[in-house]
């Protein structure tokens, strides 16, 4: 596509199968944060999604704002056809894609973005310029092979990967290297512009003010380092550990583990709405990200929590994995420890808690460097890469204090 004047409108859509509202998965948060950023950077934007029949009439802007921390509403068009995608009848399982592509064509959409590897086959047939984002390597998604015939189409403008490792794998898979765009995940910096002090955050959450607090935010799946956090809690009885998030089954399992081992310094907050996450981060003395080597995404991940931790201005103890070292540097913006080692995690936590100068330096460096990883800058860089002018607001522009 030809480069356009900065003042020209860009009519854009983001198409995805995402059952809203109430979807707690990380990919749901990532899609909604990106949609918000795309809506800010383009002048005519719509999120087109496929939801279950029961959810179709439950979507409202206020609930989305709470569930996903959305501060700026955007246009959303939902079709209640999600149940049909598992049909063995091809015209039924592709109905959403065909209707979405037809809607985009009627609206004269100039650019479509998607995380669905099947949809480009439908948007490109309508000759709609398309960008597709992938979060796993080739062979990990059922419909991924549907993307391969699209790779040489000139209207497939780019394949967006969240890491260099994924970029390398997709190039080997046959993607033209000039079409690969590496764009790590990011953070909604607006939510962190007016931080609470530790005391203010703990008062809001009803947490003790007089004990050190280590906080983990995220799912409680295998490979996320929950075993190591509990091991560290056994080593550091003088430190409180708070784990925020988790699906009901995982949460029940780990709560039982803590009860069985009488770990009095560990508590679980359970799932909290995304708009409350910053308050939990601000309550911490140290933030924990102990991914294990056997985490399914450990080789190519770009965790959203990493950027939120950095934005919260609290020191982070994380595991020393290659995928994380693309952003984190030991003793500079984080304290890195060996993976799958509870004693090493405990040692890192103790080092940060007993070294105020180090903790302050790690937090300040991380906060300064995370400015480069806002969602706004991410979508702006993608547009620039494909030769479209950016309508992004000034990245240094700060909202008025509420």
**Has residue 393 been placed in a domain?**
no
- Residues 380 and 271 both lie in one domain: no
Question: 3-class SS at 268?
Answer: strand
Give the Cα separation of 48 and 271 in Å (integer).
Answer: 26
- Judged on CB neighbours under 10 Å (0-12, 13-18, 19+), 339 is buried
**What letter would DSSP give residue 191?**
G
Same domain, 268 and 132: no
Same domain, 276 and 154: no
Token code pair at residue 388: 């479209």
For residue 59, the model assigns a pLDDT of 82
Q: Is residue 96 part of a domain?
A: yes
d(CA 123, CA 376) in angstroms, rounded, equals: 25
Q: Are residues 54 and 150 in the same domain?
A: yes
349-384 burial, b if ≥16 CB within 10 A, otherwise e?
Answer: bbbbbeeeeebeebbebbbebbeebbbbbbbbebbe
Specify the 3-state DSSP secondary structure of 290: coil
* C-alpha span between 201 and 215 (Å, rounded): 13
Give domain status of residue 104, yes or no: yes
Residue 328 CB coordination number (10 Å): 24
Average pLDDT over residues 258-265: 94
Q: Say if residue 220 is in the same domain as residue 268.
A: yes
Predicted pLDDT of residue 395 = 43
182, 197: one domain = no
Between the alpha carbon of residue 78 and those of residues 20, 162, 326, the distances in Å are 9, 26, 36
Q: Are 24 and 247 in contact (CB under 8 A)?
A: yes
Cis peptide before 153 (omega within 30 of 0): no
Judgement on whether residues 207 and 170 belong to the same structural domain of the protein: no
Q: Running DSSP on this structure, what letter comes out for residue 365?
A: H
Q: What is the mean pLDDT of residues 7-19?
A: 81
Q: Where residue 65 falls among pLDDT bands split at 50, 70, 90?
A: confident
pLDDT tens digits, one per residue of 123-135: 999 999 999 999 9
Task: State yes or no: pLDDT of 107 exceeds 70.
Answer: yes
What stretches of 226-280 adopt beta strand conformation (E)? Answer: 240-244, 266-270
Query: Is residue 397, in this structure, part of any structural domain at all?
Result: no
Per-residue pLDDT band at 388 (split at 50, 70, 90)? confident
Residues ≥6 apart with Cβ < 8 Å to 52: 19, 80, 82, 83
- CB 63, CB 21: distance < 8 Å: yes
Q: Is there a single domain that holds both residue 381 and residue 360? A: no
Give the pLDDT confidence score for residue 3 in this predicted structure.
40
Is the confidence at residue 25, as pLDDT, over 50? yes
In a domain, 402, yes or no: no
The answer to whether the CB of 369 falls within 8 A of the CB of 328 is: no
By DSSP bridging, strand 286-289 and strand 316-319 are: parallel
In this structure, of 101-105, 135-139, 200-204, 279-283, the range with the lowest mean pLDDT score is 135-139
Q: Considering the domain boundaries, does residue 15 fall inside one?
A: yes
Q: Determine the Cα–Cα distance for residues 345 and 353; give it in Å rounded to an integer.
A: 12
What would the two tokens of residue 265 be? 């310094």
Residue 390 has pLDDT above 70, yes or no: no
- Tokens at residue 183, please? 């764009």
* 107 & 210 share domain: no
- Top pLDDT among 21 and 106 is at 106
Same domain? For 179 and 206 the reply is no
Q: Give the CATH number of the domain where residue 42 resides.
A: 3.40.50.2000
Closest-CA residue to 315 (of 350, 358, 345, 346): 358
Residue 119 CA to residue 142 CA, distance in Å, equals 13
Cα distances from 230 to residues 118, 242, 342, 388, in angstroms, run 41, 11, 8, 49
Helix (H, G, I), strand (E, B) or coil at 29: helix
Residue 246, both tokens:
């988790």
State the residue range of the domain holding 292. 189-372
Q: Does 143 or 329 have the greater pLDDT score?
A: 329
Between CA 85 and CA 106 the distance in angstroms is 23
Between the alpha carbon of residue 142 and those of residues 4, 117, 153, the distances in Å are 37, 9, 21
As separate numbers, helices (DSSP H) first and strands (DSSP E) second, the chain gives: 14, 13
Name the nearest CA neighbour of 51 among 74, 77, 25, 29. 77
Residue 265 within a domain: yes
Q: How confident is the model at residue 401 (pLDDT cuts 50, 70, 90)?
A: low
Residues 331 and 225 in one domain: yes
- Answer yes or no: is 2 within a domain: no
- pLDDT beyond 60 at 116: yes
Q: In 3D, which of 5, 393, 384, 398 has the Cα closest to residue 183? A: 384
CA 129/CA 106 separation, integer angstroms: 14
- Using pLDDT thresholds of 50, 70 and 90, give the confidence band for residue 6: very low
Q: Which of 36-45, 100-109, 385-394 has the lowest mean pLDDT?
A: 385-394
Distance CA 133, CA 302 (A): 13
Q: Give the count of domains, the chain.
A: 2
State how far the Cα of 326 lies from the Cα of 315, in Å rounded to an integer: 18
């Amino acid at each position: 596509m030809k480069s356009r004047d900065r003042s020209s409108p860009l009519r854009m859509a983001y198409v995805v199968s995402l059952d809203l509202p109430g979807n707690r998965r990380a990919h749901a948060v990532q899609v909604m944060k990106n949609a918000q950023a795309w809506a800010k950077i383009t002048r005519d934007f719509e999120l087109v999604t496929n939801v279950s029949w029961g959810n179709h009439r439950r979507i409202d802007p206020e609930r989305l704002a709470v569930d996903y921390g959305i501060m700026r509403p955007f246009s959303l068009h939902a079709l209640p056809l999600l149940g049909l995608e598992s049909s063995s009848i091809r015209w039924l399982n592709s109905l959403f894609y065909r209707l979405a592509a037809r809607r985009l064509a009627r609206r004269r959409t100039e650019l479509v973005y998607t995380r669905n590897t099947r949809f480009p086959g439908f948007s490109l047939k309508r000759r709609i310029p398309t960008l597709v984002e992938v979060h796993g390597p080739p062979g990990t998604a059922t419909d991924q092979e549907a993307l391969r015939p699209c790779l040489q189409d000139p209207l497939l403008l780019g394949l967006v990967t969240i890491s260099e490792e994924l970029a390398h794998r997709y190039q080997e898979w046959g993607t033209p290297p000039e079409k690969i765009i590496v764009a790590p995940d990011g953070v909604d910096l607006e939510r962190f512009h007016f931080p609470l002090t530790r005391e203010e955050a703990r008062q809001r959450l009803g947490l003790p003010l007089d004990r050190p607090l280590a906080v983990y935010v995220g799912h409680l799946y295998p490979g996320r380092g929950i075993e190591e956090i509990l091991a560290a809690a056994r080593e550091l009885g003088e430190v409180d550990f708070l784990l925020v998030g988790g699906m009901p089954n995982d949460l029940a399992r780990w709560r039982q583990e803590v009860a069985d081992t009488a770990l009095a310094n560990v508590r679980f907050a359970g799932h909290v709405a995304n708009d409350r996450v910053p308050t939990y981060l601000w309550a911490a003395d140290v933030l924990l990200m102990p991914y294990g080597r056997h985490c399914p995404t450990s080789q190519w991940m770009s965790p959203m929590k990493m950027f939120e931790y950095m934005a919260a201005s609290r020191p982070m103890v994380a595991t020393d994995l290659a995928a994380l070292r693309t952003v984190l540097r030991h003793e500079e913006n984080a304290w890195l420890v060996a993976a799958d080692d509870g004693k090493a995690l405990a040692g890192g936590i103790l080092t940060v808690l007993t070294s105020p100068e180090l903790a302050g330096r790690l937090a300040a460096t991380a906060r300064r460097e995370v400015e480069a990883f806002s969602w706004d800058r991410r979508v702006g860089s993608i547009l620039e890469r494909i030769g479209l002018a950016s309508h992004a607001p000034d990245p240094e522009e700060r909202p008025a204090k509420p």
